[in-house]
Homo-oligomer: A and B are copies of this chain.
Amino acid sequence: MKKAAIIGVTGYSGIELVRLLLNHPNIRIHSIHSSSQSGVNLAGIYPHLKNIISDELEDINISKIANEVDLVFIATPSGISSKIIPELLQYEVKIIDLSGDYRLNNPNTYEKWYKHPAPAQEDINKAIYGLTEWNKEDIRNCRFISNPGCYPTATLLGLAPLVKSKLIDERSIVTDAKSGVSGAGKSLSRVTHFVETNDNLTIYKVNQHQHIPEIEQVLSIWNENIPFITFNTHLVPMTRGIMATTYANANKSVGSTEQLVDLYKTTYEDSHFVRVREPGNFPGTKEVYGTNYCDIGIAYDNRTGRITVVSVIDNLMKGAAGQAVQNANLMFDFDERAGLDHIPIYI
């Protein structure tokens, strides 16, 4: 049984990690940490955990944590992780960072999009990008994972087969993404106030979402001719779920939806958590609710020559805590699915 610490446990990704690890067969929660509420019982803040977890929050003593556990999950906001990780890297403990701090290889890009200082380049270089389905070998052999963002996970899993097979015009990719409100995190704002969000649909950070360079970095690794993506994000009045609707112009080698569905099925045949829909069938976000699945539907429109890819995830699961646990499983050489056998709560 491996021991894990969770830093930043009171945020939404942190609480989702608690939900997953409490039922994990091979990893147990050793300690939970919060920068500001040391000594407080977690179930006092979140009464849904009453009788389930009795741990108190501890402050963040890096050396103590590093010496006591096998793995540290860091679920703090961007800009905070990079204050914790340099010290953690001095120990042997494994690290999975759920924030965006170590996802971008270029610190200048980070500072441009995140609007605050980047981590040190040498530490960035140590991080392995944890898009599990596409990086399994590196993940298995590393000690420090930078866990992908929710939007990049949905978008990249949806685009990978097309991009890697060079089936689309490289300059034509448009992803129109939509997220439930938990993606905005626990911090209070008018944007997340029920009264301004319920029965409302909004667009935000137009052309400026900090996940854009993360997506582009991976796409350009897969196909160096992809210069950019147009990517926009909408806030949907629901709690969980991301849908990325991606449009791209097909190359001439594309002739039918069936051809694309076959490609996707073949590509993901060994990927337990990616489910490819039949032609004409497309997933809704609730069909993956509470699970680590990414469901994908694809259509080729021969009237316009354009491809539509619809990929959905639960932003707190495959988009955060679920993928983090999936990565932890690989790092410890467990079955990828350990602790992730949830069945979607559709109704």
A290 CA to B206 CA, complexed, in Å? 26
Q: Which of B186, B193, B198, B240 contacts A238 (CB 8 A)?
A: B198
Q: Is the interface on chain A under 10, 10 to 19, 20 to 34, or 35 or more residues?
A: 35 or more
Q: Which of B48, B207, B285 contacts A287 (CB 8 A)?
A: B48
Q: Which of A225-275 contact B (CB under 8 A)?
A: 228-230, 232, 234, 236-241, 243, 245, 247, 272, 275
Using CB atoms, name the residue of chain B closest to A310: B203
A20 CB to closest chain B CB (Å) equals 9
Per-residue interface assignment for chain A, residues 93 to 130, with 1 indicating a CB less than 8 Å from any chain B CB and 0 otherwise: 00000000000000000000000000000000000000
Q: Which of B15, B172, B236, B345 contacts A346 (CB 8 A)?
A: B15
**Is B201 within 8 A of A181, CB to CB?**
no
A64 CB-CB contact with B under 8 Å: no
How many chain copies?
4
**Is B239 within 8 A of A195, CB to CB?**
yes
Q: Which of A1-36 contact B (CB under 8 A)?
A: 12, 15-16, 18-19, 22-23
With contact pairs A48-B286, A343-B52 given, residues A232 and B308 touching in the complex (Cβ less than 8 Å): yes
A90 CB-CB contact with B under 8 Å: no
A144 CA to B48 CA, complexed, in Å? 33
A236 CA to B301 CA, complexed, in Å? 24
Q: Which of B19, B190, B247 contacts A230 (CB 8 A)?
A: B247
Q: Which of A295-315 contact B (CB under 8 A)?
A: 295, 297, 299, 301, 303-304, 306, 308, 310, 312
Q: Which residues of B contact A48 (CB under 8 A)?
A: 286-289, 343-344, 346
A228 CB to closest chain B CB (Å) equals 5
Q: Which of B52, B180, B299, B347 contacts A15 (CB 8 A)?
A: B347
Q: Which residues of B contact A193 (CB under 8 A)?
A: 186, 188, 192-194
With contact pairs A50-B275, A238-B237 given, residues A306 and B198 touching in the complex (Cβ less than 8 Å): no
A133 CB-CB contact with B under 8 Å: no
A347 CA to B16 CA, complexed, in Å? 8
Interface pairs A-B: 6 shortest CB-CB: A202-B284, A200-B286, A176-B176, A48-B287, A188-B188, A48-B344
